[in-house]
Structure 1
Amino acid sequence: MSSLTPLAAALPPDATGPAAHEKTQKALPSAWYALAVLVIATVLGSVDKVILTLLTEPMRIALTLSDTQLGLLQGAGIVLFTGIATLPLGWLSDRYDRRVVLAACVLLWSAATAMRGTAMDYGVLFIASIGLGVGEAGLTPITNSMIPDLFPRAQRVLANAVFALSAIFGSALGALVGGTVVHLTDDLRHWLPASMQHLEPWRLTFFVMASAGVPVALLVLSIRRTRRSVPPPATSAKAVADSHADDAPSGFAPLATLSGGQPDAANDIGFRDHLRKHWRTFSGLVIGVGLASIGLSSIGTWLPIVAAREYGATPAQMGQGMGLAFLCGTVVGGLLGVASMRYVQPRMGPAAALRIIMLGNLTAALLSTLLLFTRSANDAFMLLALLVVPLISGAVLLPNVLQDAAPSHLRARTIALLTMASLPFGVVGPLVVGMLSDALKSVPNGLAISIVATTLVGGCLGALVLRATEGPFVRLMRAAQAN
């Protein structure tokens, strides 16, 4: 989920049985083609999302928007409805052709992007943001459901890492491409139909980005349909009960069958039963990471606005600055995360990943105070790169953990529900910053103060909750390893 940061390293497969046989299997070329298409769709979503940030200032001026309204666009408009739509889309992807569902999502968010270009008031812009959020809601559950069925477990870690890194780099590419599109669209205005040449650059940019939706949707439909994991025949109720202990020190409950692994009662557990047995772990993770994300999730949105508003950065300059910041921060953070896990995991076991994510969030929250001392747009972008490093340090680990935290027949719904549970935090973050900024309009550097205050409070509280969640989290991971 969007606000749930990396949790743990990939868990080792069984040493015997079908899982051991799967080690010798190789993914078909069609699987790597499908992964490439999923990456393209994810990058397009990143571009369509980040383009709003790049164009926020000209939109704010043209439509006379307040910072509170901008916060609602990012929070309630995108985050809230992304989360609300995630569970229904996860349900659809568990039951119907996932390619068709994802292609429909691509078309929906592209249409919403075009609708932004037609906005003459805040109401239309808000409805368009809802459409964007609903469309992009399908990406997480569908891709995390498809990858385990496309790749044998021996290659799944690599596939997940490729996709995770591509998705992360998508933010950098989205900013770079978005800034370039803004610049080129204005330069090529005379090639457009006469009826469009008088439109503002930000409107034209939305129309150009929306046009990419149809070819990407066709690429999604061209993916070879994969065979979905099928649960083995049901066992007795007593066997299921005996094989699942409560989330307590006295027993370790198996959570997920390994793709292609031996049948066990985990495949027969119901969705509600699975969540009920491990509610302590899931709720602690959602609350802890959610509190930290209240401020951290707003940095990528509001820090570029600081660069535009305080230092006069243009959309093209913001795209270049954000793109390079995300790119450099991702490379360093990814390398640091891998090195940290190799060093920490042998010493801390399953708790290592949670410690890394907790420390990363806290470090980023503390570093956010440097925003009060920036003096130029370049300073702001350098700070963004610095903040990305601790946040990205474990991001590639998240897909493996989420996929192992539920049986295959519950995987998409579990991920979708965790995403929905994080909704309040994703909505509150941008909105709180916007409301504080409006309240501090008369204070010099009021927007920066609002960002720092929100990030510090959320980061510190989130770290405390994650520390308290470490016990049940370790038991859940040990249970998964026991399988």
Structure 2
Amino acid sequence: MQNHPPDNDIEIRDTPPWPRPVAAWSAVALFCVAAILSYTDRQILSLLVDPIRADLGISDTQVGVLQGVAFAIIYSLAGLPLGRLADLLPRRAVICAGVGLWSVGTLMCGYAPSFWVLFAGRLIVGVGEAALAPAAMSMIADMFPAERRGLATGVFVMGMTIGGGVAIAIGGAVLGLAASGGFAGIPLLDGLAAWRAVLVLLGLCGLPLLLALLPIREPARRSETAAGGVEATSLRDIFAQLATVRAVLIPVIVCCALMSVGDFALIAWAPALLSRRYAMAPDAIGLALGSLVVVAGVVATVAGGVISDRAVKRHGPAARIWVATLCAALAFPFALVALTTSANQVLAAVTLWTLFSSAAGTIGITAVQEIVPNRARGLSVSFVAFGNIMLGLGGGATLTGFVTDHVFADPLAIGQSLTLVIAPLAGAAILLFLHASRTARSVRR
């Protein structure tokens, strides 16, 4: 069998030493905490809809704008320039600025006197959170060799996976505490409506996180001393370098976006399917579905990273995309939710889809980091996030609702709609992953 270098995505003279494991894993742990707080801030409004509507006198449409358009569009558009900044500036500074910005935005939401101030606060939250993933994943790629990078990336992505569950669990507890007067006499929280106290408390949580992030040392960008000279940093040269690996890069980015359609569609519509077709109570849906999805996401991100790391160690970097292809193929059968005949089968299908799809996505984004030049890593993660948010968040839930209303014209046909939306796109993702895995063998940086 042909031997491959352990970190094939760079070929370096005078290679700087890898950071000490304790320092590297401490940084990853903090990035994971940042991801949890980020996703909690992002998802918390879904728990506060009714009190916000009552307090500010806004409509369901305006609530939808706050949860969807106000966040998704600004997050996607801001992510591209912020990804570029992560390739040019110290990445720790980009992360800290992002944490500070989204914390201010969350505080602004908590004290908002009107819809438009709340809208502006959500825009600020979106810009701040868009800075985290590009900078953190770029740093992780410079902290760990290829055979350990998948696990480290998986731990970071795990924070994103469980953030939504944390928002529901902790947000509900804090909301109840605030409603019962638990914050009476506490500065900044005393006298606030319960929903405002939740947002202000989340915003304040950003301060200790920011202080904890400051001591992290910026790792050396490991391809700046590459054979052949310093890596190009101009945007024109970066795109020229990306063009040399586009046969692998574009399919992997598109695959991640296609799989995310299923992720967002199932999370958005599985509760309605369980409620409408199987008369499952909302509290039972939240407990069962939320717990299963969180556990599946954690297992997927960590196990996917470990397995793909072992594959890279034995067979070289191209093996990582082969593992992603396998995970996408294993997810496909669970897109066929139209075939389910009980609530337990629906729960099993959503859980197993999350397990394999999350693994494929985590492995895919790790592969992207190994395909591209160092100074394009932040930008490349922004491309992945842009596709996932715009196609996944923007298309998954919306397409399913449209098919239910206009194709089947039956509110009980959610299972058929989910299958019609998810299955073809998942099939396309498998074929693209397969193409990318074959092409990756010829890509050497």
Q: TM-score range by the shorter chain?
A: 0.7 to 0.9
- Of stretches 215-224 and 351-360 in structure 1, the one that deviates more from structure 2 is 351-360
Counterparts of 2:94 and 2:83, CA distance in 1:
10
Matched, 1:429 2:396: yes
Structure 2 vs 1, CA of residues 412 and 41 (structure 1 numbering), >3 Å: closer, same or farther?
Answer: same
Higher relative contact order (CA 8 A, sep 6+): 1
Report the counterpart of residue 65 of structure 1 in structure 2: 59
SS at match of 2:372: coil
Counterparts of 1:436 and 1:121, CA distance in 2:
35
Superposed displacement of residue 433, structure 1: 5.2
Select 1:274's aligned residue among 231, 241, 260. 241
Superposed displacement of residue 103, structure 1: 1.4
Structure 1 unpaired stretches of 5+: 1-9, 233-261
Write out per-residue CA displacement over residues 318-376 of structure 1, whole angstroms, 9 at most, x where no aligned residue: 87556522333235545875798689x98x96663343243245334223765x954xx
Report the counterpart of residue 291 of structure 2 in structure 1: 324
Select 1:179's aligned residue among 162, 165, 172. 172
Counterparts of 2:34 and 2:381, CA distance in 1:
19
Report the counterpart of residue 294 of structure 1 in structure 2: 261
Structure 1: which amino acid aligns with 2:108? M
Counterparts of 1:83 and 1:93, CA distance in 2:
15
Structure 2: which amino acid aligns with 1:203? R
TM-score by length of 1: 0.72
Report the counterpart of residue 328 of structure 2 in structure 1: 358
Report the counterpart of residue 458 of structure 1 in structure 2: 421
Counterparts of 1:61 and 1:478, CA distance in 2:
58
Matched, 1:415 2:381: yes
Structure 1: which amino acid aligns with 2:131? G
Structure 2: which amino acid aligns with 1:263? A
Structure 2 vs 1, CA of residues 108 and 311 (structure 1 numbering), >3 Å: closer, same or farther?
Answer: farther
Structure 2 vs 1, CA of residues 189 and 455 (structure 1 numbering), >3 Å: closer, same or farther?
Answer: same
Counterparts of 2:30 and 2:242, CA distance in 1:
32
Superposed displacement of residue 89, structure 1: 0.9
Report the counterpart of residue 194 of structure 2 in structure 1: 201
TM-score by length of 2: 0.77
Report the counterpart of residue 140 of structure 1 in structure 2: 133
Superposed displacement of residue 301, structure 1: 4.4
Contact 2:259–2:426 (8 Å) recurs in 1: yes
Counterparts of 1:193 and 1:419, CA distance in 2:
38
Report the counterpart of residue 403 of structure 1 in structure 2: 369
Structure 2 vs 1, CA of residues 305 and 97 (structure 1 numbering), >3 Å: closer, same or farther?
Answer: farther
Superposed displacement of residue 101, structure 1: 1.8
- Of stretches 412-421 and 425-434 in structure 1, the one that deviates more from structure 2 is 425-434
Superposed displacement of residue 35, structure 1: 2.1
Superposed displacement of residue 48, structure 1: 1.3
Report the counterpart of residue 248 of structure 1 in structure 2: none
Structure 2 vs 1, CA of residues 468 and 400 (structure 1 numbering), >3 Å: closer, same or farther?
Answer: closer
Report the counterpart of residue 78 of structure 1 in structure 2: 71
Equivalences for residues 55-454 of structure 1 within 5 A:
55-59=48-52, 63=57, 65-66=59-60, 69-119=62-112, 122-153=115-146, 155-189=148-182, 191-192=184-185, 199-232=192-225, 263=227, 267=231, 270-301=237-268, 303=270, 313=282, 321=288, 323-331=290-298, 333=300, 337=304, 352-367=322-337, 370=340, 374=343, 384-425=350-391, 426-432=393-399, 446=411, 449=413, 452=415
Counterparts of 2:273 and 2:35, CA distance in 1:
27
Contact 1:116–1:128 (8 Å) recurs in 2: yes
Counterparts of 1:306 and 1:211, CA distance in 2:
37
Percent identical pairs in the alignment equals 23
Counterparts of 2:149 and 2:126, CA distance in 1:
28
Structure 2 unpaired stretches of 5+: none
Counterparts of 1:123 and 1:56, CA distance in 2:
16
Structure 2 vs 1, CA of residues 311 and 210 (structure 1 numbering), >3 Å: closer, same or farther?
Answer: farther
Structure 2 vs 1, CA of residues 158 and 334 (structure 1 numbering), >3 Å: closer, same or farther?
Answer: closer
